[in-house]
Amino acid sequence: MILSCVTGQEHKRICGFLLGLIVDLLVPGGLDLSCVVKAACALLDLLFLAQFQCHTSDTLSRLEGSLAAFHQNKAVFVDLGIQEDFNIPKLHGLVHYALSIRLFGTTDNYNTEQSERLHINLAKNTYHATNRKDEYSQMTMWLERCKKIQQHNASIDWRQSHWQNIQTQTLIGPLHVHAQSIKIAQKPSSKAVPFTVIFWKYGMPLFQDALGNFIAGVNNPGLRTHALHLCGGNTLLPFRTVRIYHNIKFTAANDAQVSGIIDAVHVWLEQKDKRGRIIPVRFDTVLIWGSGQGESLLHPH
């Protein structure tokens, strides 16, 4: 298969599932296939490491290490007859990543999407600001005004910074995963769902037992499993219905306005949307810190 005109988005998606396609691959001839997976993982590692917005000497040496790992394992592509040689300019370019990052900083301002983004600012938004008649002169006028506002803003900021004499530089800090906050809708997706519905429709016979155990665990921290199950079995539940939510959303902490939703977990039974189309059942998988009993919510990231 030959790929042409692949957009950045499509590239990212391919990277996201490529591993799944090759991890259990079978090839004729009894060749050692682990090399294919290792070579692909090495390149994917490199690709993801190169996108970091902050580097340490450790992540940079990992970047160099993954390129070395690719070269160690790449011979399998020649053995399989897929590739005759590796004289590919893009492949050669990878050698320069670590050095470029050391010299000029991270790669997060280098991409090919900038011109696409500017098309939105300079053409699309500008066109929408017009009344669609004689748009060219309106657009140039609008852009000129935008620029003037921008310059005036900058001038005000500059003057104010002189008054306050405050250093406004923000420090990036060490490499870590952004702290996230959890957002849940204010209104539940279903207001009062009885336990019997959860039992039958959701197919969760253990729901009430699990709820009893959870309550017992929270009220008696330190109970061992067996005692917990006994205690949980005796826990009275003073309610028969719960409010159910379909989404958990994650925003980058501190600046929810700026960054928006960065991750989401969807949980629902098969349902119909407003137009009557069926939305298939969905229960996402998640990474959980600890045992989920709230022992310490300060996880390393």
Q: Which residues touch 161 (CB under 8 Å, ≥6 apart)?
A: 168
Q: Is the dihedral of CA 264, 267, 270, 276 positive or negative?
A: negative
CA distances in angstroms from 24 to 36, 41, 192, listed in the order given:
10, 13, 45
Burial of 100 (0-12, 13-18, 19+ CB in 10 A): middle
Torsion angle, alpha carbons of 201, 204, 210, 211, to 10:
0
In the complex with another protein, the residue whose CB is nearer, 7 or 293, is 293
Question: 10 Å Cβ neighbour count for 282?
Answer: 13
In the complex with another protein, the residue whose CB is nearer, 238 or 276, is 238
**Least distance in Å: CB of 196 to another protein?**
14
**Least distance in Å: CB of 237 to another protein?**
8
**Least distance in Å: CB of 25 to another protein?**
9
In the complex with another protein, the residue whose CB is nearer, 102 or 282, is 282
**Least distance in Å: CB of 29 to another protein?**
15
**Least distance in Å: CB of 131 to another protein?**
40
**Least distance in Å: CB of 162 to another protein?**
32
In the complex with another protein, the residue whose CB is nearer, 86 or 202, is 202
CA distances in angstroms from 215 to 192, 219, 254, 283, 293, listed in the order given:
20, 6, 31, 24, 10
Burial of 42 (0-12, 13-18, 19+ CB in 10 A): buried
In the complex with another protein, the residue whose CB is nearer, 168 or 291, is 291
In the complex with another protein, the residue whose CB is nearer, 143 or 183, is 183
Tokens of 287: 């990474």
